[in-house]
Structure 1
């Protein structure tokens, strides 16, 4: 399957309901839009109900200002047997000047239910896709190590609430 066949794109105008105290896009809102867009990309590959497993890496590179647009462009950058990695870039646009800027990048992992089929390979075509996909195996190994760290942490968390 080609990366381009998994691509999902959403554009939103940044307005007052989505702002933080700095009059820029609230990070949590961007994360919700990223999850939605990346999820669409994941379903295009699996054609099954998917679950967000992790936000592996999210870099906020530039603030997204009020009255700018934000475009989220996501595609599958690697597949395993039951999981897939989605890459998303966040592009800001000043609607009055037309200037575009890279506002963020994100890698997320989604899991498919048992029995769902994923393609054996994702085929990058563009220079950007090739660069991003070539790092999949290394990022996957880092993710697996981080997952084990999270399991170890969870096994040592006290669930008692101190004020009760």
Structure 2
């Protein structure tokens, strides 16, 4: 991983910014980090990855809402168990639609909703901003990598094989 320093700087700085923004606007910080993780875990680059993250996380929020709402109509916990099984199957089956193919994203959204007891008003802003956080980290890392290459060229140390070899030996 040749660019680990750029990734570390980007992730660290933007994570600190996110924590501050979340605190200032009373957003749930950990939800944003889970949405950011969804962005990095799915395989589509760029803004398309943000859209996949949103679609899958928000589908999970929807499915959890179904379980929470449906369970509330019945006194028996078995209805909740049954709904959980049905929803779990649905989250897996929805992956046949390519925009919802990242199954862990749905499970992350679902788990967030259960953890927040269905508090959609506090879930959605952090979930949406969290995917943008991941995208921003990617963009910022790209800028840092570009600056690093320009700096190395300017300093006459543009031999990336030498840098890669040094990086790999320190693992």
Q: TM-score, normalised by structure 1?
A: 0.27
Q: Which has the higher helix share?
A: 2
The answer to which structure, 1 or 2, has the higher relative contact order (CA under 8 A, 6+ apart) is 2
Question: How does the TM-score come out when normalised to structure 2?
Answer: 0.26
